[in-house]
Structure 1
């Protein structure tokens, strides 16, 4: 049986003969390149590849680039056969890199990365959207992803030649596979030393278009990873991205942040510090935008995007304050608790003034509209108040001063538009009264005076009793 190198050498010599004799009018020899592609599927052939075979592939790609540019410039001839050749070259190179650092380095050293990027740029800028163009484009990106995998030198080379133009072309492309493969290359090359490039105002569009592309292609996992495993480590970059997004894309970004926050895996010190800074930033965003949610009370504004942003901001803040790692920084966040209480007061008042999504209901007309953006909003406001007051005396006292306790009690009934509102109200009262006699006394006095509905307290598992001349709030033991 012939040695692996003899197989490659024979095919290489045939391919070299064609390349040397290739003149104008000679058709590309795709089959010989395909034979090398097949050989590179096996580790033994990849490990025995000689530099001269990559040098030959460079010559073929250079010839291909020239032919595609020339034929695309005229309507007299088609570059289809040359596109097929470039596709096969990319497949061949892609295979050669699998678990083979040596070939990755050789490919970089002979200049194949630069030539590939140049050819892909031509493909990306072409108005021709034929399948041949798309397949060549996709395979070229797959090759760049493979040559960059685990290889810092190749990552740097690709970044230097592809950023930002080529990545922008991929992220804004109409083909989902192009966007997916392009984001794969972007993620692979986007090391810590590259993040400063993204924050330059002229390059920020790359980061912004990651979110826009994910909004369009939500199944593209590489786009999600760029946000959750890269962007969220850099709060200043995230702030710039958020400020540059449309309301619709902000909703997408907030949902990706929610995905990261909901992941209960352990965070490193630096990653935790970054998320805490992001939490403070989102708190400020909620405070500045919260009034927009009132637009959802209108019958024709159930999907008003700025208001939906406020809803998602609240969702993220609730999730963050459910985790002790983020809770402390938000409990001391200036103005947040005041804003949440005021927002609850506003939505409660709007719900009483007319029948709308903020109106407490047991009917099928509103309660059945579980797709409305504001469903659960008041419940989440109460949840956030509860979290912010958890074992925090200053915030407990602030709720007292803001006259928030009667407001919470007035929102503790079962409400079809706010699932689990009663449970969150009970949790809020528990946190407000824990080791806080003044708040306990206030609720007891409210019950005696009438404003606090005894049945509402009972629904929360509480009752008021008199001890030594004082009213005391206590839990009802259920048998």
Structure 2
């Protein structure tokens, strides 16, 4: 350990000499000195022997750089940007797996100084590419300073929230947006999410969703929503209520990605997602009629209708998971709304030729981006899921006269892939241990209202025994 300590002392002395003599306009000695420390900090043995003096010297350099940068004009040389960037690289390396350095850096005031400079970078438009490099490096340093260190996270939040985060989320540079999102994610805990519930701060959450809509591959933005926001159902509700239809679609797709993971959930995560599921159910019931706008040829991209389809997609996915199924099976009004919506879209498709009309051509069916594609199939899928081992919902479908409606949709439809398969699944769930529903379908076959070949295609047939009609599985013959 003596050799790294001695080497570090020599380099530190050289840097101190430059700072003391204040070689104005001659940036090279300082840049070289900081660069040497940056390289040394790549190795753990040098990070471990760093003392407060080194970080105090870097603070002095950054303080001078901040003064110069804040008075710069467009024609000024960019060497202060280069020097600042090297200081941030040095600090970034010093924090790697080294809580001691994280604490020292925070205690000497480097986090506050860095956020001050980063705010200048985020609100100014400089022509130099070196300014952008310095901005990125400052955010990388803040991210490393926050990693696994609650005190540093709180300190960064104190000085960066909300303005620096807001500016990073809307910045045109992808790396600035990504690094800023990384810092935001690292610093955000449950207490800080509670701050986002305040009207003045909600804009942070809204801009996260908007930014993800523009950068759908942004990993940190994705994690902010799925690993942070979804832990606070009240925040999710506020975000949804305050957004445009386009941003609502982004939010729903992010929730869908989380639900689709099928990863083990803690009891708290499960409770939060169930609250969100109930909220999604309420939203669908209020907005589902918007899909009827799609019957007009010019409204194939209506955003409100797209929101309704995403709400339905999410409900289908949630009811496919037993963790969320029971709470949604009991949601007041949901099953009634789904059956009513299926009836309306089915009727609309029969009254005129539109996107809800069953077709065997490749015209609309080939356009898999159309909002209406798969909508009726997903309605039947949701009915099937909600009736799974649930006698009350099976009986409700009977009362709503939904069984004939489902049977009437048991056909191949290019606009609704797997429609027939979901209908088969729905009939299976509706008739399981439910004699009344079995008798109804059997009676429909006797009256000629249910296609015999259709029932056979479902693996069922009607038999008469002791004067009663029974719906039997063909496999049990």
Which bin holds the TM-score, normalised by the shorter protein?
over 0.9
The within-5 A match list for 1:27-106 is 27=27, 29-72=30-73, 75=74, 77-106=75-104
Q: Does 1:163 align with 2:195?
A: no
- Residue 79 of structure 1: CA displacement? 4.5
Deviation at 1:27, TM superposition (A): 3.4
Please give the alpha-carbon distance, in whole angstroms, between the structure 1 residues aligned to 2:129 and 2:444. 73
Alpha-carbon spacing, 1:297–1:129, altered in 2? closer, same or farther (3 Å): farther
Any idea what the Cα deviations from partners look like across 1:111-167, whole Å, max 9, x if unmatched?
000000000000001022542121111100000000100001100100111111111
395, 400, 420: which one aligns with 2:398 = 400
1:424 to 408, 418, 422: 422
Q: Work out the CA distance in 1 between the residues paired with 2:89 and 2:21.
A: 23
8 Å CA contact retained: 1:447, 1:464:
yes
Deviations 1:314-343 (Å, cap 9, x if unpaired)?
A: 111001001111011101100100000011
Once the two structures are superposed, residues 161-205 of structure 1 have per-residue CA deviations (whole angstroms, 9 ceiling, x without a partner) of 111111101111111111110110011100122111111110001
Q: TM-score, normalised by structure 2?
A: 0.97
Distance 2:373 2:207 in 1: 30
Distance 1:148 1:449 in 2: 72
Query: Cα deviation per residue 1:364-393 (whole Å; 9 max; x = unaligned)?
Result: 222222221211111110000011111111
How many pairs does the alignment contain? 476
Tell me the equivalent position of 1:339.
Answer: 337
> Take 2:457 and 2:292, find their aligned partners in 1: how far apart are those partners?
29
2:446 aligned with 1:448? yes
Q: Which consecutive aligned stretches of 4+ in structure 1 deviate over 4 angstroms post-superposition?
A: none
Structure 1 unpaired stretches of 5+: none
Q: Judge conservation of contact 2:229–2:235 (CA < 8 Å) in 1.
A: yes
Q: Which segments of 5 or more consecutive residues in structure 2 lack a partner in the other structure?
A: none
CA contact (8 A) 1:164 1:206 kept: yes
Separation in structure 2 between the aligned mates of residue 472 and residue 128 of structure 1, nearest angstrom? 80
- Of 381, 386, 395, which aligns to 1:388? 386
Contact 1:444/1:464 (<8 A) preserved:
yes
| 1:477 Cα deviation from its structure 2 partner | 2.0
In 2: Cα distance, 1:396 partner to 1:332 partner: 12
**Larger displacement relative to structure 2 (227-236 or 296-305):** 296-305
Match of 2:187 among 181, 186, 189: 189
Report the RMSD for the aligned CA atoms in angstroms. Answer: 1.5
Asked if structure 2 preserves the Cα contact closer than 8 Å seen for 1:68 and 1:79, the reply is: no
Partner Cα distance (1:452, 1:48) in 2: 83
Cα displacement string for residues 202-234 of structure 1 (whole angstroms, at most 9, x for unaligned residues)? 000101111111111111111111111111111
In structure 1, what is the Cα distance between the partners aligned to 2:23 and 2:129?
Answer: 27
Counterpart in the other structure of 1:379: 377
Shift of 1:23: 5.2
The DSSP-based 3-state class of the residue aligned with 2:469 is: strand
In 2, the alpha carbon distance for the partners of 1:429 and 1:85 equals 71
Structure 1 residues 129 and 175, CA, compared in 2 at 3 Å: closer, same or farther? Answer: farther
Question: Is contact 2:431–2:437 with CA below 8 Å preserved after alignment?
Answer: yes
Q: Is the 8 A contact 1:422 1:460 kept in 2?
A: no
The answer to whether the Cα contact below 8 Å between 2:27 and 2:83 also exists between their aligned partners in 1 is no
